[in-house]
Amino acid sequence: MSTDTLRLRPPRNRVNGKAVLWWTANALLVVLPLTAALVVPALFWEEGRPWLLLAAAAIGLPGLAVTVVMPQWRYRVHRWEITDDAVYTSSGWLWQEWRVAPMSRIQTVDTKRGPVQRLFGLASVTVTTASAAGPIEIAGLDSALADATVERLTETTQATAGDAT
């Protein structure tokens, strides 16, 4: 395995397009209850109404902007790729990160499917390595592709020499 094989480079594969809907739904699940928690009392409390509505706008408007912009932005940034030598990822929104994990450093491979992910038929694959930077997550994969990815990574890491430390 040569050093230039594991150079930092953009991964080739996009996450599933339904990840945009998943990220949008997650943002709405935060913004809507917070905004509603301020709007509903404003309907019944006339003296506090201006302040409650101002607070609702202060949360709701930026929240709406994040809900519209963030999923599209993340979709443009999130990439992943698996080669025989390494796992490559690019992720983030405001703080973007490129990671390369050599197969010989992989310790565990896990799949995660939250309730909203399952609703969209998505899953995340977490690759834990012997790195101080922590695990690598490939979020927004089709569930079947996530299962196939875990299987491939498991087979490849078992066949790769090294002690994953």
Residues 83 and 146 placed together within one structural domain of the fold? yes
- Render pLDDT for 123-156 as a digit per residue (tens, 0 to 9): 999 999 988 888 999 999 999 999 999 999 999 8
Rounded to whole angstroms, the Cα distance separating 161 from 106 reads 11
In this structure, is residue 107 part of a structural domain? yes
Residues 148 and 95 placed together within one structural domain of the fold? yes
Residues 54 and 112 placed together within one structural domain of the fold? no
- Render pLDDT for 3-59 as a digit per residue (tens, 0 to 9): 445 566 789 999 999 999 999 999 999 999 999 999 999 999 999 999 999 999 999
In this structure, is residue 54 part of a structural domain? yes
Nearest CA-CA partner of 126 in 143, 114, 138: 138
Residues 85 and 154 placed together within one structural domain of the fold? yes
Residue 80 predicted with pLDDT over 90: yes
Residues 150 and 94 placed together within one structural domain of the fold? yes
74, 94, 110 — which closes off a domain? 74
Total domains in the chain come to 2
Domain residues for 106? 79-159
**CATH of residue 155:** 2.30.29
Residue 163 pLDDT: 64
DSSP collapsed to 3 states, 26-58: HHHHHHHHHHHHHHHHHHHCCCCHHHHHHHHHH
Q: Model's pTM, two decimal places?
A: 0.86
Residue 70 predicted with pLDDT over 90: yes
Residues 87 and 148 placed together within one structural domain of the fold? yes
**pLDDT greater at residue 160 or residue 120:** 120
